[in-house]
Amino acid sequence: MEKEKFYITTPIYYPSDKLHIGHSYCTVATDTMARYKRLRGFDVMFLTGSDEHGQKIERIAEAQNTTPKAYTDKIVATFKDLWQKLDISYDKFIRTTDDYHVKAVQKIFKRLYDQGDIYKSEYEGWYCTPCETFFTEHQLVDGKCPDCGREVEKVKEESYFFRLSKYQDRIIKYMEENPEWLQPATRQNEMINNFLKPGLEDLAVSRTSFTWGIPVEFDPGHIVYVWVDALSNYITAMGYGSDDDSLFKKFWPADVHVVGKEIVRFHSIIWPAMLMALDLPLPKKIFGHGWLVINGNKMSKSVGNVVDPFVLVEKYGVDAIRYFLLREIAFGQDGNFSNEALIQRINSDLANDLGNLVSRTAGMIEKYFGGKLPAEQKETEFDADLINVAKETAEKVEEKMEKMLFSDALNEIWTLIRRTNKYIDETQPWILIKDETKKDVLANALYNVAESIRIVSIMIQPFMPNTPALIWKQIGITEGEMTAWDTIKTWGLLDRQVAVSKGEAIFPRIDIKKELAELEEAMKAAQAASVANQTKEASKEDKKEEEKEEEKVPEITIDDFLKVQLKVGEVISSEKVQKSKKLLRNVVKVGDEERVIFSGISQWYTPEEMVGKRVIIVANLKPRKMMGEYSYGMILAAEDSDGNLSLATVDKPDFESGVEIG
Ligand code: ME8
């Protein structure tokens, strides 16, 4: 019987010379899904690649005194190296500089032109080079790029336009009829309300002011807009527009495009419109994941807060990193990255829960039975529940994986791991061993634990490509029938006379104090150069403080004021901090981000009163550790002479959050 196909893609990456763990997140998640589908018997096509054209790359190459192609060749090599280190099992890697892609994009452009979906006109507007995106005047925020906040450039040039507006109603209808198409569901509402309903304008799809791109075949002074070039990769990689389109026929439409939330707009509006114009079916699903953030800011090279994935993999191993990324952050939401959280997860989930379970079990079978369980075994009263939890876990894991809820799927697997550890505590092998007549009960208990480990080891495969084999070695099985995915639903497949060979700990514990101290040391070293300077500054600061005291309310310049970034935030949850009389822990939505902000206002506001309030926050305040957690900003309030407190707020109750005040 022919296998069912599954086509999954990551975005194609801009060649950045600073790859960070945020980039890896999307690819690790996509890889996990691809591995899962392969294990379930699908014929999988997993596509990734590089998005190499555009003015941004042209300028970087120029600055580095090299050609764009030489620059991208170098970076693409580091991509491939990173994907290898992270065990990314892609089936195809497309480069937009590949000849077949260039030719196919030219054909696509020509076809759209011939049929009237692309026409020539003049473009006047704003262009954000880092985002490679055009904006109209009214789309800018404070005259800056609405996506990244950077400067935009005025461009006026002859340009080809794609009739995006023509497809607006069809896209809205499609989204409304297919509410599961764009995930998570909130992203769909955002697209409809913020972009589609206000009206789409035709899209400038060619440039003439630079040359690094795919020339329009019939008008070579024009370069194809980089997003039209890039989005086409999902079909050109399968041979669309080439002499051999058999892969395209087999795999299109894609089952899912996995993309970061900031590029959902391109994938759910421009891409479907292009496909509709080409008379092709739309991808079956688009999943817009959240960002890895550090102290509330998206990890990105321009912010300067990137964490190097090569270093992390080297230090903690690839399986631990993959586990952390998918366990810690609910797929679809933003999640904070910290070394502390990473080490804690490694110690508690991997070393304690899983690692310990495996080594304890192999150790006991070795110690009590010389490495092999006897055939005589007798059931215990605790078996039924363990077996039941294992069965339920198998079902739930599949259900969560189908929805790409990776963190939830891992949570289910860990429920079984913890239940198995509890089963050991219930059956107490160390007591049973003392009673010669209970050897059969002991053997049965250890068998059940080993069988549960087998089931766990199969389910973790999509997430952790290397750990399962280490476990199988310890419980005496090899990859094959016993490790096939479907066997997770059948209890008792493992040979009752399990023969173990205890090995090294699969996840050694990390001394968190020592590790964090080392990291701190490294940070201190980096700061050392400025220490002397700081001391000088400190005495100056003291002086300034005294002066301030004298002045009471010092005058500030407009420049001083502009240093403070005030923003509108919406409190989406709030709770009292247990050990504090004054503090509330608020989660505040500021545009796309969610920040934790502590505020000493619990005497005046209950958590219930806080939720839904639009507050004014100081957004660029250095994060402060309070009650063991960082607070990212300050909520502004005024206190009168009677000690009454009132929050500063905006006077329209539904005012958009994230907007800057000034
Ligand atoms: O957008 N956390 O490429 P890109 C999570 N070339 N994901 C992150 C992240 C972070 N901190 N930083 C980046 C492009 N990403 C286009 C795509 S597709 C036809 C063209 C993710 O290299 C980001 O969300 O800027 C995106 O999904 C991917 O990395 C590539 O980003």
Residue range 521-535, pLDDT digits in tens? 664 554 454 333 333
Least confident piece of the model among 128-137, 165-174, 253-262: 128-137
Task: Give bridge partners of residue 207 from the DSSP assignment.
Answer: 223
Q: How far is the CA of 322 from the centre of ligand 1 (A)?
A: 18
Burial of 294 (0-12, 13-18, 19+ CB in 10 A): buried
Q: Span 493-505, mean pLDDT? A: 93
Q: Strand, helix or coil at 343?
A: helix
Q: Which band of pLDDT confidence, cut at 50, 70 and 90, is reported for residue 17?
A: confident
pLDDT for res 530: 33
First-last CA distance in the chain = 65
C-beta 260 within 6 A of ligand 1 = yes
Q: Is 231 in the pocket of ligand 1 (CB under 6 A)?
A: yes
How much distance in Å is there from the Cα of 413 to the middle of ligand 1? 29
Residue 460 CB contacts under 8 Å (≥ 6 apart), including other chains: 354, 413, 467, 468
Rounded CA-CA distance 269/202 in Å is 12
Taking the centre of ligand 1 as the mean of its atom positions, its distance from the CA of residue 340, in whole angstroms, is 25
Q: Quick one: which of 623, 625, 634 has its CA closest to 566?
A: 634
CB of 259 within 6 A of ligand 1: the answer is: yes
Give the residue with greater pLDDT, 324 vs 640. Answer: 324
CA distances, 532 to each of 523, 537, 540 (Å): 16, 9, 13
Q: Which of 299, 335, 297, 301 lies closest to 633, judged by CA? A: 297
> In the structure encoding, which two tokens stand for residue 521, read together?
């040391």
Taking residues 36-65, what's their average pLDDT? Answer: 95
> Quick one: which of 466, 443, 277, 289 has its CA closest to 371?
443
User: What rounded mean pLDDT belongs to the chain?
Assistant: 90
From CA 633, how far away is CA 567, in angstroms rounded? Answer: 10
Ligand 1 pocket check for 11: Cβ under 6 Å: yes
For residue 261, report the distance from its CA to the centre of ligand 1, in Å. 9
Q: Is the beta carbon of 82 within 6 A of some atom in ligand 1?
A: no
pLDDT of residue 578: 81
Residue of 26, 96, 227, 324 to mutate, ligand 1, most atoms within 8 A of C-beta: 26
Q: Is the CB of 404 under 6 A from ligand 1?
A: no
With beta carbons less than 8 A apart as the criterion, state whether 165 and 202 touch. Answer: yes
Element (H, E) at 246: helix 246-251
Ligand 1: centre distance to CA 360 (Å): 42
pLDDT at 301: 65
pLDDT computed for residue 554 by the predictor? 63
* Mean pLDDT of all residues in 545-571: 68
pLDDT for position 545: 42
Q: Indicate whether 520 pLDDT > 70.
A: no
Q: In this structure, which residue's CA is closest to atom 25 in ligand 1?
A: 14
Of 229, 263, 298, 329, the residue with max ligand 1 atoms within 8 A of its CB, to mutate for a pocket test, comes to: 263
Q: How far, in Å, from the CA of 13 to the mean position of ligand 1? A: 6
Q: Which residues pair with 588 in a beta bridge?
A: 571, 595
Split at pLDDT 50, 70, 90, the class of 539 is very low
How many other C-beta atoms lie within 10 A of the C-beta of residue 645?
13
Q: Are 594 and 610 in contact (CB under 8 A)?
A: no
Is residue 8 within 8 A of residue 34, CB to CB? The reply is yes
Distance, in Å, from the CA atom of 455 to the CA atom of 483, rounded to the nearest integer, reads 8
Distance from the CA of 11 to the center of ligand 1, in angstroms?
Answer: 7
- The pLDDT value given to residue 547: 43
Where would I find the beta strands (DSSP E) of 96-191? Answer: 118-128, 133-135, 153-162, 182-183
| Closest CA relative to residue 462, chosen from 401, 403, 411 | 401
Question: Which residue has a Cα nearest atom 12 of ligand 1?
Answer: 22
**Residue 580: per-residue pLDDT:** 78
Q: Which residues contact 474 (CB under 8 A, 6 or more apart)?
A: 358, 359, 362, 500, 501, 502, 503
Q: What is the pLDDT of residue 84?
A: 97
**DSSP letter for each residue of 415-450:** HHHHHHHHHHHHH-HHHHTT-GGGHHHHHHHHHHHH
Higher pLDDT, 140 or 19: 140
With a 6 A CB cut-off, is 23 part of the ligand 1 pocket? yes
CB-ligand 1 contact for 26 (6 Å cutoff): yes
CA of 505 to the centre of ligand 1 (A): 36
Pocket flag, ligand 1, residue 258 (CB < 6 Å): no
Average of per-residue pLDDT across 29-43: 98
Angle subtended at Cα 212 by Cα 266 and Cα 119, rounded to the nearest 5 degrees:
55
Q: Are 597 and 617 in contact (CB under 8 A)?
A: yes
Is 565 strand, coil or helix?
A: coil
Q: Could you tell me which residues are beta bridge partners of residue 634?
A: 618
Strands 153-162 and 203-204: what pairing?
antiparallel
Q: Is pLDDT of 441 > 80?
A: yes
212 touches ligand 1 (CB under 6 Å):
no
Atom of ligand 1 nearest to the CA of 292: 2
Instruction: Give the pLDDT of residue 537.
Output: 37
Say whether 42 sits in a helix, a strand or coil: coil
Residue 277 to residue 501: CA distance in whole angstroms? 61
Q: Report the C-alpha gap between 578 and 377 in whole angstroms.
A: 50
Residue nearest to atom 16 of ligand 1 (CA): 13
HEC states along 53-99? CCHHHHHHHHHCCCCHHHHHHHHHHHHHHHHHHCCCCCCEEEECCCH
> Is the bond preceding residue 179 a cis peptide, omega within 30 degrees?
no
* Res 519 pLDDT > 70: no
Angle at 429 between CA 378 and CA 447, to 5 degrees: 50
Q: What is the pLDDT of residue 516?
A: 79
State the distance from the centre of ligand 1 to the C-alpha of 85, rounded, in angstroms. 19
Q: Which atom of ligand 1 is nearest to the CA of 51?
A: 6
**76 CA from centroid of ligand 1 (Å):** 15
Compute the distance between CA of residue 229 and CA of residue 46 in angstroms, rounded to an integer. 20
Q: Say which residues have a Cβ less than 8 Å from residue 528's Cβ, sequence separation at least 6.
A: none
Q: Whose CA is nearest to atom 18 of ligand 1?
A: 11
Q: Return the domain boundaries, the chain.
A: 344-489, 558-661
The model's confidence at residue 134, banded by pLDDT at 50, 70 and 90, is: confident
Q: Which residue has the higher pLDDT, 642 or 49?
A: 49
Distance of alpha carbon 175 from alpha carbon 63, whole angstroms: 43
The strand ranges marked E within 217-261 are 223-224, 256-260
> What is the predicted pLDDT for the residue at 644?
80
Mean pLDDT of 15-20: 82
HSE (side-chain half, CA atoms, 13 Å) at 301: 9
Percent of the chain with pLDDT over 90: 65
CATH number of 558-661: 2.40.50.140
Q: What pLDDT does 104 receive?
A: 98
Confidence of residue 261 (pLDDT cuts 50, 70, 90): very high
Mean pLDDT, to the nearest integer, of 550-567? 70
As a CATH number, domain 344-489 is: 1.10.730.10
CA of 444 to the centre of ligand 1 (A): 50
| 18, 23, 133: residue to mutate for ligand 1 pocket, most atoms within 8 A of CB | 23
Ligand 1 centroid distance, CA of 114 (Å): 33
> Out of 130-144, 392-406, 499-513, which region has the weakest mean confidence (pLDDT)?
130-144
Q: Is residue 383 exposed (0-12), middle (13-18) or buried (19+ Cβ within 10 Å)?
A: middle
CA gap 382, 651 in Å, rounded: 61
CA max distance for the chain: 91
Q: Which residue has the higher pLDDT, 565 or 408?
A: 408
State the Cα–Cα distance between residues 432 and 428, nearest whole angstrom.
Answer: 6
**For residue 293, which atom of ligand 1 is closest to its CA?**
11
Q: Whose CA is nearest to atom 31 of ligand 1?
A: 13
